[in-house]
A and B are shown apart, each in its own frame.
Chain A
Amino acid sequence: GENVEQHPSTLSVQEGDSAVIKCTYSDSASNYFPWYKQELGKRPQLIIDIRSNVGEKKDQRIAVTLNKTAKHFSLHITETQPEDSAVYFCAPGAAGNKLTFGGGTRVLVKP
């Protein structure tokens, strides 16, 4: 099965700085690469995703980059704000197949 690792497991940044989380996966058949955000006590919610035919996707302050050869993709958050504090999960998968969640990265944005 898919082996998914996220780094770092915790990340503390100053408000306004950037944050980067890396997700490494093992299954070369994976072609869908989403990131989910889970605020304290809430449900996970999709914030951005990318497919394997695209190298980068941006949505305001968040972006995802994919390196399919090296089997990793990253979440980039710029100009971090306190409301970005949450646990972030990557969940790579193949079309029509289950997503495998990484262990999560706890991000704390300090005002």
Chain B
Amino acid sequence: DTAVSQTPKYLVTQMGNDKSIKCEQNLGHDTMYWYKQDSKKFLKIMFSYNNKELIINETVPNRFSPKSPDKAHLNLHINSLELGDSAVYFCASSQGDGDEKLFFGSGTQLSVL
């Protein structure tokens, strides 16, 4: 049973398109995250939700909109995709409440052409 699962694994699309990435965790964790990993492997936090509430929103273009329908799901919608959005996007979860151990999904490789 995969603890944190995200789909799709690969996403190839044209500039200007809108796309979504879905994430689900079955660990019963309260906190979920989106991270972006660029080609140089830098891992940067984008958003964090605790029990469906947005708690971290880093300096991310507002073309990126996270949505958490419940505490087990955190989706990422990206409007008007640009070349610079090409990266690997990782979803992650943690128990929260002082337990910061992160459990990552397998990543979504986004390529914008």
Contact = CB atoms under 8 A, between A and B. Distances in A.
Interface of A: 32, 34, 36, 38, 42-46, 49, 87, 89, 91, 93, 95-101, 103-104, 106
Contacts of B107: 43
Contact of A46 (B42, B45, B90, B101): B101
Contacts of B98: 95-96
A98 B48 contact: yes
A44 B104 contact: yes
B42 A103 contact: yes
A6 B85 CA distance: 25
A34 B101 CA distance: 8
Given A95-B100, A98-B48, A98-B56, A43 B43 contact: no
Interface in B44-62: 44-45, 48, 56
A87 B90 contact: no
Contacts of A104: 41-43
29 contacts: A34-B101, A34-B102, A36-B102, A38-B41, A42-B106, A43-B90, A43-B104, A43-B105, A43-B106, A43-B107, A44-B43, A44-B90, A44-B102, A44-B104, A45-B104, A46-B101, A49-B101, A87-B41, A91-B102, A96-B96, A97-B100, A98-B45, A98-B48, A99-B100, A100-B45, A101-B44, A103-B41, A103-B42, A104-B43
A32 B44 CA distance: 18
Contacts of B41: 38, 87, 103-104, 106
Contacts of B48: 98
Contacts, number: 50
Contacts of B42: 101, 103-104
Contacts of A32: 100
B31 to A, nearest CB: 10
Contacts of B105: 43
Nearest to A103: B42
A3 to B, nearest CB: 14
